[in-house]
A and B are shown apart, each in its own frame.
Chain A
Amino acid sequence: MSTRLASQGRLINKDKAVAFTFNGKHLQGFEGDTLASALLANDQMLIGRSFKYHRPRGVVASGAEEPNGLVNLGKGASFEPNARVTTTELFEGLTATSQNHWPTLEFDVGAINTQLSRFLPAGFYYKMFMYPRSFWKHVYEPIIRKSAGLGKAPKDRDHDTYEHFHTHVDVLVVGGGIAGLAAAKAAGERGARVLLIEQTADWGGRAVVDTPTVDGIPAQEWINNTIQVLENMHNVDMRLRCMGAGVYDHGYTLAYERLTDHAPGDEGPRHRLWCIRAKQIVTATGAIERPLSFAANDLPGVLLASAVRDYAVNFGVSIGDRTVVVTNNDDAYRTAIVLKEAGLDVPVIVDARVQAEGELIDRARALGIRVEMGKGVASVKGGKRVTGVALCAQAGEGAVLEEIDCDCVAMSGGWSPVVHLWSHCGGKLDWDADQVMFRPDPERAPTGADGQAFVITAGVANGHLFTAEAVSDGWAAGRAAAKAAGYTKRGAQAPMGEDAAEGPISPVWLMPQGARHALRAKAWLDFQNDVKVSDVQLAAQEGFESVEHAKRYTTLGMATDQGKLSNINGLAILSQSLNADIPNVGTTTFRPPYTPISMASIAGVARDDLFQPIRMTPVSEWSNNNGADNEPVGQWRRPFAYVRPGESVQTAVNREVKNTRENLGLLDASTLGKLIVKGPDAGKFLDMMYTNMMSTLPVGKCRYGLMCSENGFLSDDGVVVRMAEDTWLCHTTTGGAEHIHAHMEDWLQCEWWDWKVYVANVTEQYAQIAVVGPHARKLLRKLGGMDVSAEALPFMQWREGKIGDFDARVFRISFSGELSYEIAVPAGQGAAFWEALMEAGEEFGIMPYGTETLHILRAEKGFIMIGDETDGTVIPQDLNLQWALSKKKEDYLGKRAHERSHMADPDRWKLVGLATEDGSVLPDGAYAIAEGENANGQRNTQGRVTSTYYSANLERGIAMGLVHKGPERMGEVIEFNKVDGTTVRAKIVDPVFYDKDGEKQNV
């Protein structure tokens, strides 16, 4: 059983007990424990179930590379799935539950999958879930949905806060082991501004466990001294619990700091996302131990050798009383030595190497530990827990030589440098055959804007596995980084490290070397995603030769640990299967983040009211106080309708629609874009921007204009006003002001830069209010001021003057078909002007109306709306707007495109009105069905609905749509699909449903 040792445990405080629960069980750990060490101290070896076969799983590792130990943490507003037990620090009251099992962790129905594993090979999903098609909805999808995903999404709103932090540094050092500390000190001494980050809660990395000496003193002492020196340097900042997540272009780096995960009651944000610009980055990220691939290597109780050592030294936890060590290198002997010295039993060290000599081997032998050279593990015995191992010859096929009882297996397949951050922005790797590892190639480093390397890798991460080289390499990297950042002051000498000498490693990718299929089918590569040696071999056999293809086909390395343990082993198996060298097969791409980061940290403070800025018009406050039911339009909030007490939104809309036609309506049109275009060449410029002629528009007049992209597609529309000889005012759609302004700037700056034109966006400088309805003129006359008669201010003209006491520009334009004045006043007077209109309009039955009424009124008139009738594939000709395409102009944006064959095709769908036979409202976006089926067996279509409303004025549904040869088919009835599977019949009609001759707007 796993238990707490009487001695050891450098990180825990045995005077401070910490209570927590796991699956409702009340357990106790110590201050300084991780959730993993506390669970193991309580003999909780079984922690979860694997993804595909629901195999029992225990902790394998002691750090960020842990693939199995994922739990649900907390409850309610602090619930979090997939928390890694090895990186979760224990705190009082922590509640954890296991995931990915049903109904209980100990008895899981899904584990039946393991019996079926023969039927669930690599690529199973791709092969199986193809046919018959009908099985998808009722059989496959429900099963996949039920078993997909690890953990559950939280149900409650997250109550914690999160933030971003931006900083610039000369040298960023990632990793607080001895190499990182040496690098930070070397760079700091030279005067560079340094930020040193470490993902765990403690400095020192592996050296504190493996206890080499540095500068003649024990590593821990050297680390303490160095930290003190660094803390006294004003130009060095240090952060624990801060993980280097990703390195991006030109030295941009994201780091993820976990501030209160270990102390949930504390003030302040829970996570902080650091956005760092570093001139130079030192990645001293260490290495991760590799598992060995032997049968049943996934049983709880089989751990990495370094993890077994970590639990003993750091937390005083023994995984078992009898530990068999399996290795292909000297380093794992340290585990045997640590365990033996702690009074535990190590019945045998199984060394796959035929021959090996070294200081550590000698020390193990001197402690009386049996060492078996040239041997391997044929298989691990046990059900939910290791009970023993069967030994075999490593060179053979797995014939059992001997069975040995044990309750823990410590395995080591060698070490892989953590090259993720090096690789994120293009750093390349070399295969080091002697050390059996990929290591960064300093000749092919990520490069910055100046073409020079901006990442230097250091220490163990650079392939220097031994203390002497690691610490001096870290120092050299810090010095080089400071120099590259422009700091050349002299600093102290390089630290000198010393450690037990180790002999060479021997590559072991499968144990035993000639393992039969039955063994290979139980030799796990990816513990979380259940990928075995046999799966990768099958993928290779089926032709998935590229490592990226094999990864996706088998899901190797695609779990939340992103293959930190499995990648190199899987790659080696793939290359053996392909008879290729490992470097020729290559690695999969390393992508940020290094370990998962919270979604909330990415959002930072951008949530609730701070999610995005809300744009307000001068009338917004009045509207919000008077029943506005708002809808988002870009970053604006526009009233959809003004709902009175006791009314539904639909009733309010019907009331507004009728009142505007019968009496008087008021619309806040301030959101419409307003661009001033001015200069000697402004007319020429607008003739290029709009499809119609704007240079000939007389001063005092208005003209409806269309804009197309160079592709010929409609992009915006609006009324253009000639204000003066050299000045035009262009109205854009509500969402269009910014991008149409940018569009104009682009052409002016990049194509016609010699034209003398200036564009200013004055959208927010004016409040614009539409006074609409038969009584509109009476209202303005009552307020007094300028002459608004039909003679003085005819339709499609504008005048500047006074309305009441307000300075106003009055545009006689109409988007409703009614008598209508759009009146712009300075924004500061907008609210007062609106209230003056409301007050004076009372006797004429004035009512404000919202965007839905605006839409219905324009649809009754057959006026198009950008974004409804257009979708980026519609040209003016489709909307019967040929009249707005100037024939006199030689050129305008979109003109050449309209000559392209597809644009001139007579078979294009064109705008018509649609009137259902039963008067109902057509579903939005519905397709008109046609005879026959297309090549995919889908019903052919002949048109679609673009706008559809209930018209209270006409007391029926009205719609517009694009229909194949529509305008030539007036009176024909076609059928539209409804979502319930039925169809509805509609007659093709003129899109103008109301006042076809336009008499009402022109009075």
Chain B
Amino acid sequence: MLILRCPYCGVETDETDLQGGGQAHLKREGPGSSDDDFEDYLFMRENPKGVHFERWRHVYGCGKWFLAARCTNTLEVFGTYPAQTLEPPQEIKDKITAKRPGWSWGTFQ
């Protein structure tokens, strides 16, 4: 029962008001992509014990999708940010670096 802050309406919201959407920052592969790239896009997911980026929707609130950076091990939330971005904002990355020096996730660090 996590509490996450919806970056759109500013509400600190209970997990019961949210819908999880799995891993964030997936790059869509369409026609013309290789079998390997398409397989990665469809099926291969990060499963870290530590820093992770996830999709969440404020489904029983404003209805907007947002992204959350959090630690799956300690349940610490580093921050949430709107979904309309290809990578986490620098401010969030700095916050993670301060707490988890040397972290990396996919191509981010």
Interface residues of A (CB under 8 A from B): 248-250, 252, 277, 425-426, 446-451, 710-711, 742, 745-746, 749-751, 753, 890-891, 895-897, 899-900
A899 neighbours in B (Cβ, 8 Å): 31
Residues of A within 8 A of B65 (CB): 745-746, 749-750
Asked if B31 and A896 make an inter-chain contact with CB atoms under 8 angstroms apart, the answer reads yes
Judging by beta carbons under 8 Å apart, are A449 and B31 in contact? no
Q: Please give the residue numbers on chain B whose beta carbons come within 8 Å of chain A beta carbons, in ascending order.
A: 1-3, 14-15, 19, 21, 28-33, 35, 38, 41-42, 55, 57, 59, 63-65, 71, 74-77, 83-84, 99
The reply to whether A895 and B31 contact each other, CB–CB distance below 8 Å, is yes
Q: 19 A–B contact pairs at CB < 8 A?
A: A249-B15, A249-B75, A252-B1, A425-B75, A448-B76, A449-B75, A451-B76, A710-B28, A742-B59, A745-B63, A746-B21, A746-B65, A749-B64, A749-B65, A750-B83, A751-B28, A896-B29, A896-B31, A897-B42
Q: Could you say which residues of chain B place their CB within 8 Å of the CB of A277?
A: 3, 14
Chain B: minimal CB distance from A846 (Å): 41
A745 to B29, alpha carbons, bound, how many Å?
19
**A447 touching B74, Cβ below 8 Å:** yes
User: CB-CB < 8 A to B29: which residues of A?
Assistant: 896
- Chain A residues whose CB sits within 8 angstroms of the CB of B74 once the complex forms: 426, 447, 451
Q: B2 near A749 (CB under 8 angstroms)? A: no
Q: A451-B76, A751-B28 are in contact. List 19 more A-B contacts (CB 8 A).
A: A249-B1, A249-B2, A250-B1, A277-B3, A277-B14, A426-B75, A446-B75, A449-B76, A451-B99, A710-B28, A710-B41, A711-B42, A746-B21, A749-B65, A749-B83, A890-B31, A896-B31, A896-B32, A896-B33
Residues of A within 8 A of B57 (CB): 742, 746
The answer on a CB contact under 8 Å between B76 and A447 is yes
Listed from nearest, the 5 A-B pairs whose CB atoms lie closest are A252-B1, A451-B76, A753-B84, A449-B77, A447-B74
Given A249-B75, A749-B84, verify A449-B35 contact (CB < 8 Å). no
CA–CA, A891 and B28, complex, Å: 12
Across the interface, which residues of A come within 8 angstroms of B42, CB to CB? 710-711, 897
Which of chain A's residues has its CB closest to B39's CB? A900
Chain A residues, CB < 8 A from B77 = 449-450
Asked whether B83 lies within 8 Å of A448 as measured between CB atoms, the reply is: no
Q: In the complex, what residues of B have CB within 8 A of residue A710's CB?
A: 28, 41-42
- Distance from A894 Cβ to chain B, minimum over Cβ atoms (Å): 10
Give Cα distance in the complex from A895 to B2, angstroms: 36
Q: Which residue on A lies nearest to B59, using beta carbons?
A: A742
Interface SS, A side:
loop
Asked whether A896 lies within 8 Å of B30 as measured between CB atoms, the reply is: yes
Q: In the complex, A56 Cα to B30 Cα: how many Å?
A: 69
B-chain residues with CB within 8 Å of residue A746 when the two chains form the complex: 21, 57, 65
A451 CA to B33 CA in the complex, in Å?
Answer: 41
* Chain A hits for B33, CB < 8 A: 896
Q: Give the shortest distance, in Å, between B65 (CB) and chain A (any CB).
A: 5
CA distance A277 to B83 in the complex (A): 28
Contact between B84 and A250 (Cβ–Cβ < 8 Å)?
no
**Among candidates B38, B71, B75, B99, residue contacting A896 with C-beta atoms closer than 8 Å:** B38
* Distance between A744 CB and nearest chain B CB, rounded to angstroms: 12
Pairwise interchain contact B75-A450, C-beta atoms closer than 8 A: no
Question: Which of B15, B28, B55, B75 makes the CB contact (< 8 A) with A447?
Answer: B75
Which residues of B lie under 8 Å from residue A250 when comparing CB positions? 1-3, 75
**B31 contacts across to A, CB distance below 8 A:** 890-891, 895-896, 899
Closest to A751 in B: B28
Chain B CB count within 10 A is highest, among A749, A751, A753, A897, for A749
In whole angstroms, what is the CA distance A745 to B64 when docked? 8
- The residue on B at minimum CB distance from A893 is B30
- Chain A nearest CB from B11 CB (Å) reads 14
Residues of B within 8 A of A897 (CB): 38, 42
Indicate if the CB atoms of A891 and B30 lie closer than 8 Å. Answer: yes
Which residues of chain B have C-beta atoms less than 8 A from A750's C-beta? 21, 55, 65, 83-84
Query: Please, which residues of chain B bring their CB within 8 A of the CB of A447?
Result: 74-76
Q: Provide the residues of chain A in CB contact with B71, threshold 8 Å.
A: 451
- Contact status B55-A900, CB under 8 Å: no
Q: In the complex the two chains form, is A248's CB within 8 Å of B3's CB? A: no
CB-nearest residue of chain B to A891:
B30
Are B2's CB and A449's CB within 8 A?
yes
Bound: A890/B21 CA distance, A = 27
Residue in chain A with minimal CB distance to B5: A449
Give Cα A890–Cα B32 distance, bound, in whole angstroms. Answer: 9
A252 to B16, CA, bound (A): 12
- The answer on a CB contact under 8 Å between A753 and B63 is no
- Rounded to whole angstroms, the CA-CA distance of A710 and B27 in the bound complex is 13
B76 cross-chain contacts in A, Cβ below 8 A: 447-451
Min CB–CB distance B55 → chain A (angstroms)? 7
Given A451-B99, A745-B63, A750-B55, verify A895-B30 contact (CB < 8 Å). Answer: yes
Closest residue to B19 on the A side, CB-wise?
A742
In the complex, which residues of chain A have a beta carbon less than 8 angstroms from the beta carbon of B19? 742
B62 shortest CB reach to chain A, Å: 11
Most A-side CB within 10 Å, residue of B15, B19, B28, B29: B28
Min C-beta distance of B3 to chain A, whole Å: 5
B24 to chain A minimum Cβ distance, whole angstroms, is 9
User: How distant is the Cα of A734 from the Cα of B76 in the complex, in angstroms?
Assistant: 40
Q: Return chain B residues, CB-CB under 8 Å to A446.
A: 75
Closest A residue by C-beta to B74: A447
Interface centre among B3, B14, B75 (most CB of A within 10 A): B75
Which residues of A are found within 8 Å of B28, using beta-carbon distances?
710, 751
Task: Quote the shortest CB–CB distance from B17 to chain A (angstroms).
Answer: 13
User: What is the minimal beta-carbon distance from B53 to any residue of chain A, in angstroms?
Assistant: 13
The closest CB in chain A to the CB of B38 belongs to: A896
Residue of A447, A710, A750, A753 ringed by the most chain B CB atoms within 10 A:
A750
| Contact indicator B83/A449 (Cβ below 8 Å) | no
Q: A337 CB to closest chain B CB, in angstroms?
A: 47
For residue A314, give the distance in angstroms from its CB to the closest CB of chain B: 37
Q: Which residue of A lies closest to B76 (CB)?
A: A451
Closest to A754 in B: B84
- Nearest A residue to B83 via CB reads A750
Q: How far is the CB of B21 from chain A (nearest CB, A)?
A: 7
A899 to B39, CA, bound (A): 12
- The complex places the Cα of A450 from the Cα of B70 at a distance, in Å, of 10
**Chain B nearest CB, measured from A441 CB (Å):** 15
Q: Are A448 and B21 in contact (CB under 8 A)?
A: no
Inter-chain contacts of A753 with B (CB < 8 A): 83-84
Contact A900 B83 (CB under 8 A): no
CB distance from A895 to the nearest CB of B (A): 5
Residues of A within 8 Å of B41, CB to CB, are 710
Q: Which residues of B contact A896 (CB under 8 A)?
A: 29-33, 38
Question: How far in angstroms is the closest Cβ of chain A from B1?
Answer: 4
Residues on B with C-beta less than 8 A from A252 are 1
Tell me the bound Cα distance from A710 to B21 in angstroms: 15
Do A248 and B84 touch across chains, with their CB atoms under 8 A apart? Answer: no
Residues of A near B30 (CB, < 8 A) are 891, 895-896
Contact B1 A248 (CB under 8 A): yes
The residue in chain B whose Cβ has the minimal distance to the Cβ of A746 is B65
Minimum C-beta distance from A288 to chain B (A): 27
Set of chain A residues within 8 Å of B2, measured between Cβ atoms: 249-250, 449
- Which chain A positions have C-beta within 8 A of B15? 249
Q: Chain A: which residue is nearest B12 at the CB level? A: A449
Nearest-CB distance from B30 to chain A (Å)?
A: 5
CA distance A446 to B75 in the complex (A): 9
**Which chain A residue has the least Cβ–Cβ distance from B63?**
A745
Residues on B with beta carbons closer than 8 Å to the beta carbon of A449? 2-3, 75-77
Question: Complex: how many Å from CA A91 to CA B2?
Answer: 41
- A448-B63 contact, Cβ under 8 Å, with A250-B3, A749-B84, A897-B42: no
Q: Which residues of B contact A711 (CB under 8 A)?
A: 42
Contact of A900 among B35, B63, B84 (CB under 8 A): B35
A895: nearest chain-B partner, CB-CB? B31
Q: How far is the CA of A745 from the CA of B8 in the complex (A)?
A: 15
Q: Which of A425, A742, A895, A896 has the most CB of B within 10 A?
A: A896
Closest to A889 in B: B31
Residues of A with C-beta under 8 A to B21: 746, 750
Contact partners of A742 in chain B: CB under 8 A: 19, 57, 59
